[in-house]
Amino acid sequence: MPKNNSRIRTKGSDLIFSVILYVICILFLILILYPLWFIVIASFSDPSAVAGGHVWLWPVGFTLDGYDELFRQKEVWIGYKNTILYTLLGTFFGLAVNISAAYSLSRKDLWGRKALMSLYVFTMFFSGGLIPIFLTVQKAGFYNTFWVLIIPFSVSAYNIIVARTFFETSLPPDLFDAAQIDGCGNLRYFFTIALPLSKAVISVIALWTAVGQWNSYFNALIYIRDENLYPLQLIMRNILITNQNFAALGTGEAAMIAMRRANLVRYSMIIVTTVPIMCVYPFIQKHFDQGVMIGAVKG
């Protein structure tokens, strides 16, 4: 009987702990998800209701004025096209550069790989600064061109370190030795064996690169002057500044209405710019989790 009682007490304490744990997790989930949900419902609500604090769980005074005003501007469609191209090509170049560099640095027979790795790590802490980088980009002929957001900034030391750690810990040296015995060279081994076995880390690097390209606006602000080359984020920034300036120039009731409309457009802009990436993430989530664990914990 005492043993049974201790067992019951243990099960009861485990149940209480599980309930507390679930409650804490649900509270954190609500804290994380509610701001996102509020932006969604605010983008479909009457600006007066949002400003008055009447929007909590569901849209109030359902309206599509924010999206209508946003998509009536042709610059938005140009920005969407440019951003999609920047993201696709930038991700491709980023993977080509970072994965190949990471594989090379993971090979123990690469002469001077420790010195090369030290140079990569050095760039994570020190850089030439904005002006030297600007002059370099300009001298290379990339300034105010389509490729300025793709090629010059395609290298990421952090991504190279993560991928290199994956190659070192997940591809045993015996695998390369066996491939060599069968007559497989370095390039063939990389493309036919190493890459197919590295889908997890490739998905991680691709996701990080794509999100960075999609959200980037600072490089475009510095290195692009042609409005036809602007990415979506920079166009959204300009629209937001224009609306806020227009509201600031007004007085009285007109200024209040303009400010509320600017806020409505702001909520709509957040949804428009984040939905594509959020739609892509579920399809590569399993590779993302696996790649992060393999590339980080084992290193």
Segment 53-76 shows an average pLDDT of 84
How large is the average pLDDT for residues 205-214? Answer: 88
Q: Which residue has the higher pLDDT, 71 or 133?
A: 133
117-144 average pLDDT score: 89
pLDDT at 173 over 70: yes
Measured between alpha carbons, how far is 166 from 198 in angstroms, rounded to an integer? 8
On average, the pLDDT of the chain sits at 83
Residue scoring higher pLDDT (3 or 20) = 20
User: What mean pLDDT comes out for the span 67-91?
Assistant: 89
Decide if 2 is inside a domain: no
What pLDDT shows up at residue 284? 66
Residue 258 and residue 243 in contact, taking contact as beta carbons nearer than 8 Å: yes
Residue type, 161: I
**C-alpha–C-alpha distance, residues 94 and 249, integer Å:** 44
Average pLDDT, integer, range 84-90: 93
3-state helix, strand, coil in the chain (%, to 5): 80, 0, 20
The reply to whether 169 falls in a domain is yes
Tell me the C-alpha distance between 12 and 172, whole Å.
Answer: 47
Residue 82 inside a domain? The answer is: yes
Q: Which domain holds residue 162?
A: 70-231+290-296
| 178 domain-assigned | yes
Domain total of the chain: 1
In a domain, 215, yes or no: yes
Residue 55 placed within a domain: no
Confidence class for position 293, pLDDT limits 50, 70, 90: low
pLDDT at 215: 86
Q: What is the pLDDT of residues 227-285, one digit of tens each?
A: 899 998 888 888 878 777 766 666 666 667 777 777 788 888 888 888 887 777 777 66
Judge whether residue 60 has pLDDT over 60: yes
**77 domain-assigned:** yes
Tokens 């201790």, located at residue: 6
Give a yes or no: residue 163 inside a domain.
yes
In the chain, pLDDT over 70 holds for what percent of residues?
87
Task: Answer whether 292's CB lies under 8 Å from 68's CB.
Answer: no
Instruction: Specify the pLDDT at position 298.
Output: 46
Confidence of residue 93 (pLDDT cuts 50, 70, 90): very high
Whether 243 and 261 have beta carbons less than 8 Å apart is answered as yes
Q: The CATH number of the domain where 212 resides is what?
A: 1.10.3720.10
